[in-house]
Every structure is written in C-alpha cells, then in structure tokens.
Structure 1
Amino acid sequence: MIPYLVVKALHVACVLLFVGGLFSQAFAVAAGQRGDAGITALVSTWDRRVTVPAILAVWLTGAAIAAEGAWFASPWLWAKLTLVVALTGLHGIQSGRLRRLRRGDPPPAAMRASHTAAFIAASVTIIALLVVLKPF
C-alpha cells in the first residue's frame, strides 16, 4: 500500500497541473477566437499530454484520500466535489472549443477569458478553504 502522504502529495501536484491547464485553456480559447492558431495547437497538445492525465490522477487520488479519511459522509467534501465536477465540466467545454477552433470552425460564442479565469480562481479558493477548514 502506498503511504497516505505520498498519495496526498501526488494529489496536490496533479491539482496544480489541472488548475494550470484550466487557466491555459481559458486564455488559449480567447487567443483562438482572435485567430491565433499557434497557441490553440500548443495548448491542445499540452492538454492531451498533461492536463487530462492530471485530471484522472486528481480523481483517483482524491477518492483514495477521501476513503482513507472516511470523509464521504462529510458535507464539506460534497461541497468540494460539486466544485470539482464543475471544473471538470469546464475543462470539457474548453477542450471542445479548442478542438473546434483547431479545425477552423467559426469561433464559438464568446466565452470571456477573464470571467472563466475568475470562476476557476474562486472555485479553487473555495475548495482550498473547504479542505483545510472542513467547516461542516
């Protein structure tokens, strides 16, 4: 069995890669909507090779940590999971937009990078508070 702290450290490292990937996607979508195909190609490659495996690792290590701590009955964990599901969904939406931009399809309806980045930052901040404080 892998020691708990190793799983926790891996979880944190993968969360950082996931969040970084989300931010880079948001700005690549904005760049792609302005016609910068180079950025969209670069971020799409990074997404497939780094962000997607990081997301899978986040979910697997997070489940292992929650099971080890017997936290599945804790409301704070379900609040956190709601935000993680939203961030995972946002990743899917942004991946689809990047894919369409790379194919040369017309730019999708404007998704402001500043609003997306603010949502990501707020969600990650709330998640960190929930994990550290376990308020309920």
Structure 2
Amino acid sequence: MAADPKQSETLRQIQEAFQTAQSQMTQLRQQVEKHSELAQAKAQSDFLQREMDRALRALGESVFKQVQKGRVQLPEGFNPLLKAVEHAQKKAEAHAREIGDLLKEGEETAQRLKEKSAGGSHSGVAPSRKKL
C-alpha cells in the first residue's frame, strides 16, 4: 500500500515546523544566556561603583577632618569644595537642632498632658447641671 501523498506532505510540514521551533528555541536560549551575562556584568559594575563611592566618601571625610584640625592644607583650588562641604555641614547641624527642638517640644507637651491628667478630672469646662 502506497503512502497517502497528503499525509506525507502534512508529516513533512510538521517536521519542518518542529525543526524551526527547535532552531528558534536555541536562538532564544542563546539570547537569554547573553542577557543574563550582561545583567551579571551590570550588577558587578554597580557593586564596584558603590564600593568606589564608599571609599571616596571615606577618603573625603578623612581629609576634611584633617583640614578642620589644621593638619592638612589643601591648595586654593579646593576652597569652593571646602566651602560647599562646610555649608552642607552647617545646614545638617541646623536641621538636627530643629529636630531636637521639635522632639523637646513634643516631650514637654506630653509631660504637660500627663500632669494635667494626673491632677484630677478637671477639664476646665463647667460640669453639666442635672435637671430637677
């Protein structure tokens, strides 16, 4: 019995589609692997950049402290940077004082309320009268 030509053609199309799908899957896998490598490289780059930033910050803070103590004299070209750091430091100190004042005010208010409630049930409002 001879093979049905329609069946043979359908089988050939299925095989071609399967081979195409396999090829696409291989390409997709390669693209995913490449993307993964790039993501890992980016993550490593970001980590190294943060490490460098921390080291530079520590160096800058150390040098700034030495300048403030008079142990290190920087060239005049650094004056704008020093002034910017000093300005930022003054702003941070002022902000910290504001926070401290707010906390102190809150504590004082809480203490007054605590004393007021401990002193009795006087609310400062006249009691209601009973009807006869």
TM exceeding 0.5: no
Q: TM-score, normalised by structure 1?
A: 0.29
TM (normalized to structure 2)? 0.29
Q: Which has the higher contact order (CA 8 A, sep 6+)?
A: 1
**Structure exhibiting the larger radius of gyration computed from Cα positions:** 2
